[in-house]
Amino acid sequence: MGFIKNPILRGFNPDPSIIRVDDNYYIAVSTFEWFPGVLIYQSKDLMNWLLIARPLDRVSQLDLIGVPDSGGVWAPCLSYDQGTFYLVFSNVKTFNGPWKDTPNYLVTTDNLTGEWSEPIFLSSSGFDGSLFHEDTGKKWFSSMIVDHRKDTLFGGIVLQEYSTVDKKLIGEQYHLTDGTALGKTEAPHLYQKDGYYYLILAEGGTEYEHAVTMMRSQSLTGPYETHPDNPWITSSHDPSHGLQKSGHADIVQAPNGDWYVVLLVGRPLTEQGRCITGRETAIEKFIWKDGWPYLESGDKKPRLEVWLDKVEQVYQGQTYAYNFAVEQLSLDLQSLRVPITEDWCSLTERKGYLRLFGRESLTSWHNQSLLARRVTESKSRTILLLDFHPEHYQQMAGLVLYYNSYHWHYLFISANEQGQRFLQLMTCDKHNISESLVEPHVLSSEQPGDVGLRADWDGDQIQCYVQHGSNQWTAIGDPVDGSILSDDYVRDDENWYRPAFTGAFVGMCCQDLSGMRKHADFRVFIYEELD
């Protein structure tokens, strides 16, 4: 017996969709512009989760080339029926302005960790699609619908039957609801229980007014009535609480009859401040009362710890050391927009090293050579060792701390006109690029060995270091602002709405802006949680 510590999926793991198959629980989360698309985690106790699958792993399923920051894979819905797993997802192409290009697709498999099917197109009328398997055997696709008129955006929730024979939506499209008084209605999931159809929704927007609402009807197509104590989950009434932005939820029943809800949360550095770990997944236990769900705690906000009878360990900070002597990369390493293929990312070119061939810049939406993992705590340390010998200033490689193409910090090795290798710390902040070091740190030509790069992240401060030719770490420049790598900062612009739905990553990258594909070899990559 013990406590589950929230969040259960730490770091950028938003929009959870949960199912139980026998004694296994599975959660699918959004990945946006990161490839492969969709992460699926498995657990037997609702606390210890293991990343087991990345189903959208080829371009024929998911083409992300050129998608904007925070575009790509939104709000996957994972479901299961009669031996088949179903996964619905959006691949968002454009979102700025009144027009939203949001095609929705379905892939299936009978082996969750195996190969998934080619995608079936469903619709482009909205996003946050969900597949509901009715007791009658019929299958129904629901989503929010985009209304571009007068900058409305949220046009309510629609429903249409899906034919497994024709592999497309068929019949009439039903408008289920405009949502509740909270507005900004999205993320529908349907359930059947005790003679009712229940419709769970995310409302209030994706920031500090985010909330989970519930409606119900005795008819699938409505009319739907609203939860009497709406919303039934939110943190908006308690701005000092450690878990904020509570919304976008899904529910599941345990074998013993208990009910749980998984939902999106954020952990701000300060009260209603910036969340460098992005949008994460938490869990809560709830009960049914008079035919409606209520959190077991009696409050509306998710707790930092949830008691569960069968928990064998408590979450503690961990160290992740990536071994490049193996034949396969860890599943938690992802690339931007493109598959991880041998032509730019190789474990075989040099034994014991990961070789990245330099390609496009960190501002590219196309072909970057970058591998990164999620930042999972507000205090962390990242270390890498690399062997890189650039010939001129257009060739760079090093340690990147990344939010999107116009918000990052980059500690990199390059070369000057004299052929000397040097180290520089570069920042991109809302498209403005600056270099922290007035005089780049020159690396001694008499020390040919691997160069160590390190970034210590403490809340809103990141201090970078170098190690070369000795066991000592030397500080590089002054601390830089880590909080610019957050949804909250990226969206903070009075003149332009910027979609920002992901989270901070740390990783390895290599650029060759001359097009000559100069490579860098990485021997060590370590991420340590210090909280």
Domain that holds residue 523: 319-529
Q: Is residue 238 part of a domain?
A: yes
Same domain, 296 and 353: no
Do you find a cis peptide bond into 268, omega within 30 degrees of 0?
A: no
Q: Is residue 369 part of a domain?
A: yes
Same domain, 60 and 196: yes
Same domain, 360 and 237: no
Same domain, 291 and 428: no
**H or E element in which residue 202 lies:** strand 196-203
E strand intervals along 488-518 = 505-512
- Determine the Cα–Cα distance for residues 388 and 279; give it in Å rounded to an integer: 35
Other Cβ atoms within 10 Å of 254 Cβ, number:
16
Domain boundary among 308, 338, 363: 308
Same domain, 408 and 264: no
Q: Is residue 100 part of a domain?
A: yes
Both tokens of 133, joined, read 């398997």
E strand intervals along 256-394 = 259-266, 279-289, 292-295, 305-308, 319-322, 335-336, 345-346, 354-357, 369-374, 379-387
Same domain, 383 and 254: no
Helix (H, G, I), strand (E, B), or coil: what is residue 506? strand
What pLDDT shows up at residue 30?
Answer: 98
Helix (H, G, I), strand (E, B), or coil: what is residue 211? strand
Q: Is residue 314 part of a domain?
A: no
- Determine the Cα–Cα distance for residues 244 and 304; give it in Å rounded to an integer: 11
Q: Is residue 152 part of a domain?
A: yes
Same domain, 436 and 346: yes
Domain boundary among 261, 289, 308: 308
Domain boundary among 280, 308, 336: 308
**Residue 176: partners with Cβ closer than 8 Å, 6 or more residues away:** 142, 156, 157, 158, 159, 188, 199, 221, 222, 224
What pLDDT shows up at residue 308?
Answer: 82
| DSSP label at residue 461 | E
Q: Is residue 313 part of a domain?
A: no
Q: pTM, whole model, 2 decimals? A: 0.96
Q: Is residue 266 part of a domain?
A: yes
Same domain, 264 and 323: no
Same domain, 348 and 418: yes
Both tokens of 385, joined, read 């060792």
Q: Is residue 69 part of a domain?
A: yes
Q: Count CA within 13 A, CB hemisphere, residue 281.
A: 28
What pLDDT shows up at residue 310?
Answer: 63
Q: What are phi and psi of 100, to 5 degrees?
A: -125, 115
pLDDT per residue rounded down to tens, the chain (531 residues): 678 999 999 999 999 999 999 999 999 999 999 999 999 999 999 999 999 999 999 999 999 999 999 999 999 999 999 999 999 999 999 988 888 999 999 999 999 999 999 999 999 999 999 999 999 999 999 999 999 998 889 999 999 999 999 999 999 999 999 999 999 999 999 999 999 999 999 999 999 999 999 999 999 999 999 999 999 999 999 999 999 999 999 999 999 999 999 999 999 999 999 999 999 999 999 999 999 999 999 999 999 999 887 655 544 568 899 989 988 999 999 999 999 999 999 999 999 999 999 999 999 999 999 999 999 999 999 999 999 999 999 999 999 999 999 999 999 999 998 889 999 999 999 999 999 998 889 897 767 789 999 999 999 999 999 999 888 999 999 999 999 999 999 987 655 567 899 999 999 999 999 999 999 999 999 999 997
- Determine the Cα–Cα distance for residues 159 and 134; give it in Å rounded to an integer: 13
- CATH label of the domain that carries residue 228: 2.115.10.20
Same domain, 357 and 257: no
Both tokens of 423, joined, read 């180290």
Helix (H, G, I), strand (E, B), or coil: what is residue 410? strand
**Residue 515: partners with Cβ closer than 8 Å, 6 or more residues away:** none
Residue in this structure with the two tokens 């013993």, named with its chain if needed: 256
Question: For the chain, what is the domain count?
Answer: 2
E strand intervals along 207-258 = 211-217, 225-226, 233-234, 244-253
- CATH label of the domain that carries residue 421: 2.60.120.200
Instruction: List the alpha helices (DSSP H) in 78-163.
Output: none
- Determine the Cα–Cα distance for residues 329 and 508; give it in Å rounded to an integer: 13
Catalytically annotated residues:
15, 186
Instruction: Quote the distance between the C-alpha of residue 423 and its chain's center.
Output: 31
Same domain, 108 and 223: yes
- Determine the Cα–Cα distance for residues 323 and 228; give it in Å rounded to an integer: 53
Same domain, 374 and 417: yes
Q: Which residues pair with 380 in a beta bridge?
A: 457, 529
